Amino acid sequence: MKYFSAVFVFFTGVFAHWIWSTHFSVWGLAPDVLLALTVAVAARSGPVAGQCYGFAWGLFLDLLGAHIFGANALALTLVGYAVGSLRRQMDVASAPSQGILILMLTPAHFLLYGIVGLIFERHFLWVGWASFLAVPFYTALVSPAGFSFVKRFLKL
């Protein structure tokens, strides 16, 4: 039964990211739902689950993108590992602490994605100032819903 819930969490995350980015974007900006869910899984279940979900969701994002294949997978895998390894030192029980964690990790994710582009494409993959400044706040606002979803459905 836990495998069905794991698959359900994965595909619900994919669907939520797709639906939010196509129908609920504000001025063309959408929250990084899969980053928030990766952080939630890693904080709840540890580094292995965070890496696995981050890698799979990153591959999904890479399939949608036109840049380096594997950059999102690498970035979300590293985020999942870091959060999962440090989960005992972080308090993510309340919505404000979840939002602050996401607020700090979203720009780090953007910068890591750009650095991977710098290494492999010889230019920094910049998401733009609007995304860099607004998406962290937008993602932080929706992250408590992701944390409660993962807490409810993921029993690893």
Q: What's the pTM value of the predicted model, to 2 decimals? A: 0.92
Q: How many other β-carbons are positioned within 10 Å of the β-carbon of residue 63?
A: 10
Question: Domain limits of the chain?
Answer: 2-153
Spell out the CATH class of 2-153.
mainly alpha
With 70 as the cut, is the pLDDT of residue 132 above it? yes
Mean pLDDT over each residue of the chain, to the nearest integer: 90
With 90 as the cut, is the pLDDT of residue 15 above it? yes
Quick one: pLDDT band at residue 156, thresholds 50, 70, 90? low
Give the whole-angstrom CA distance, residue 40 versus residue 84. Answer: 9
Give the whole-angstrom CA distance, residue 48 versus residue 28. Answer: 33
